[in-house]
C-alpha cells in the first residue's frame, strides 16, 4: 500500500482537485486498492511525508520532506501533465 500526500497552500481547494485527478489516473491504471491519499497544507507536508512514499504538491518541494516529490501544477494547467503522470505511475510501480 502506497501512502501519497497531496498538498497545496492551505490544503483545501487545489489539493482536492489534484487528488481527484491523481486518484482517477491510479484507478484507471489498476492501482485502485494500492494506495491511500492524504491532503494537507504545505506547512503540514514535511511531517506527513515522514512515512509517505511520495508527495504531490502544487508548490515547490518544501524543505524537510523525506519522500519523493512530484509537481501537481501540471494537473491544474495541463502543461507537462503527461510527464507528471508518468512519474507517478513509475513511483507506484516501485
Residue 25: what pLDDT? 98
- Strand arrangement of the beta sheet that strand 54-57 belongs to: 35-41, 2-8, 54-57, 68-71
Whole-number pLDDT of residue 9: 87
Q: What cell does 84 get?
A: 507528471
- pLDDT at position 94: 92
Tens of pLDDT along the chain (94 residues)? 999 999 998 878 999 999 999 999 999 999 999 999 999 999 999 999 999 999 999 998 888 899 999 999 999 999 999 999 999 999 999 9
Q: What is the pLDDT of residue 48?
A: 94
The number of domains in the chain is: 1
- Domain range for 58 is 2-93
Residues 48 and 5: beta-carbon distance below 8 Å: yes
Picking from 41, 12, 7, 35, the residue whose alpha carbon sits closest to that of residue 23 is 35
CATH number at residue 22: 3.40.50.2300
Amino acid at each position: 500500500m502506497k501512502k501519497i500526500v497531496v498538498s497545496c497552500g492551505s490544503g483545501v481547494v487545489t489539493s482536492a482537485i489534484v487528488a481527484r485527478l491523481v486518484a482517477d489516473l491510479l484507478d484507471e491504471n489498476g492501482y485502485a486498492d494500492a494506495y491511500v491519499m492524504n491532503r494537507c497544507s504545505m506547512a503540514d507536508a514535511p511531517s506527513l511525508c515522514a512515512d509517505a512514499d511520495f508527495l504531490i504538491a502544487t508548490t515547490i518541494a518544501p524543505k524537510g520532506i523525506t519522500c519523493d516529490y512530484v509537481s501537481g501544477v501540471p494537473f491544474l494547467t495541463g502543461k507537462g501533465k503527461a510527464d507528471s503522470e508518468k512519474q507517478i505511475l513509475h513511483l507506484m510501480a516501485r
